[in-house]
Amino acid sequence: MGWKILDEMNLMGKRVLTRVDINVPVENGLVSDTTRIDRIAPTVRHILQSGATPILIAHFGRPKGKPMPEMSLSVTLPALESALGVPVKFTTLDKARETIAFSKNQVVLIENIRFEPGEEQNDAALAQRLADLGDIYCNDAFSTAHRAHVSTEALARLLPSCAGRLMAEELSALEAALGAPQRPVVAVVGGAKVSSKLGLLGNLVAKVDHLVIGGGMANTFLAALGHGVGKSLCEHDLADTARTILAMAETSGCEIILPSDVVVAHSFAAHADHETVDASACPTDAIILDAGPATVARVGACFAQACTVIWNGPLGAFELEPFDRATNAAAQAAATLTRAGKLISVAGGGDTVAALNQAGVADDFTYISTAGGAFLEWMEGKELPGVAALTA
């Protein structure tokens, strides 16, 4: 593991600088989805109950180092107070020292840290300025761990540091999925483009036993194997890359599962007229929008023999009915096995979370990460600065 967790720290009377992710969606001036706020509550409550003062550091939007009123974290206060069940004191960084001095054992929220130009530059002076406000640093924002910013990396090196409850939970789940997994391991990778997930595919073929490729990127592989894909989304210029990945998989003993049958239509629209054809028989004027039932059955059989599934990306155009069927059916198969205690299932990425919610199975997976970029970089095998700093 290599990093300390919150429970191992002596917090009594301490000021705990706590990096959280409350970069939440807002509509008409109100937080419209409190998931991220709800998930940090256990860490903040633990700090309070330990007789310490949680000082929350967070970002909101992308203000690029300049104060922007429309990106003020003040919009999150009602949802924060509701989730925590206690008042939250809001302060700017300039007034933080004074606010903290009068807020012993109370929650303090510092204004959007990305208003500070030094934050994204990992500026040493800003890091020291923040470190002077606290005694302990706690990172509970895995979703920002792939950024070497002041509040995620530099600050961790200036104070005794630990992972918060959510961060520790996330890291433990990911370690169980790829670090030291129960085998066989199946990875599901979907989405539009191979080009956006080259590092991911290259890393996975060396680590998993089966790799299911779906969505638009499957078309690139089908085309590389000589199959016509009609007017489908396809990166024909990456045919050599796709063949290289197939060769790497064969060398490492990883079975790649591509669609054996596909659902095609003549327009990218919900309820468009469609038919199921062999993956080698897409009409020249058609678009592949989903994997077919034979492919879903093959994926389900693979899941049934597996011990671990890690999932990133849908198998088809899941946002359009009925081209969500393959994603829904495969997700439900994984969920059923997970509920039965036969499978460890870990999923992450924006589209993935949306697809699993749509399939009604998000609560049945072992763990779902809401950390998009960090989750992807971890799957690619990259070192995450925010995690590395905790182990330094």
350 assigned to active site:
yes
CB neighbour list of residue 103: distance below 8 Å, 6 or more residues apart: 53, 89
Instruction: Choose, from 61, 199, 228, 373, the residue flagged as catalytic.
Output: 373
User: Can you read off the two tokens belonging to residue 277?
Assistant: 């054809």
Q: Which SS3 state, helix, strand or coil, does residue 312 take?
A: strand
Q: What backbone phi and psi angles, to 5 degrees, belong to 226?
A: 95, 5
Instruction: Choose, from 4, 193, 207, 382, the residue flagged as catalytic.
Output: 193
Query: Are 27 and 74 in contact, with CB atoms under 8 Å apart?
Result: no
Distant-in-sequence contacts of 79-86, Cβ < 8 A, 24+ apart: 79/24, 79/31, 79/34, 79/37, 80/22, 80/37, 80/107, 80/109, 82/34, 83/34, 83/37, 83/38, 83/41, 84/41, 84/44, 84/45, 86/48
Instruction: Choose, from 14, 15, 36, 325, the residue flagged as catalytic.
Output: 36
- At position 333, the amino acid (one-letter code) is A
97 assigned to active site:
no
Q: Which SS3 state, helix, strand or coil, does residue 204 take?
A: helix
Distances (CA, A) of 307 to 85, 162, 186: 39, 31, 8
**Strand residue runs (E) in 122-265:** 136-139, 161-163, 185-189, 210-213, 255-257, 261-265
Rounded CA gap, 257 and 313, in Å? Answer: 15
Query: Are 312 and 376 in contact, with CB atoms under 8 Å apart?
Result: yes
Under the phi-then-psi rule, with left for phi > 0, alpha for psi from -120 to 50, and beta for the rest, what region is 28? left
Rounded CA gap, 50 and 14, in Å? Answer: 9
- At position 324, the amino acid (one-letter code) is D
Instruction: Choose, from 350, 372, 381, 382, the residue flagged as catalytic.
Output: 350
Active site residues: 36, 193, 350, 373
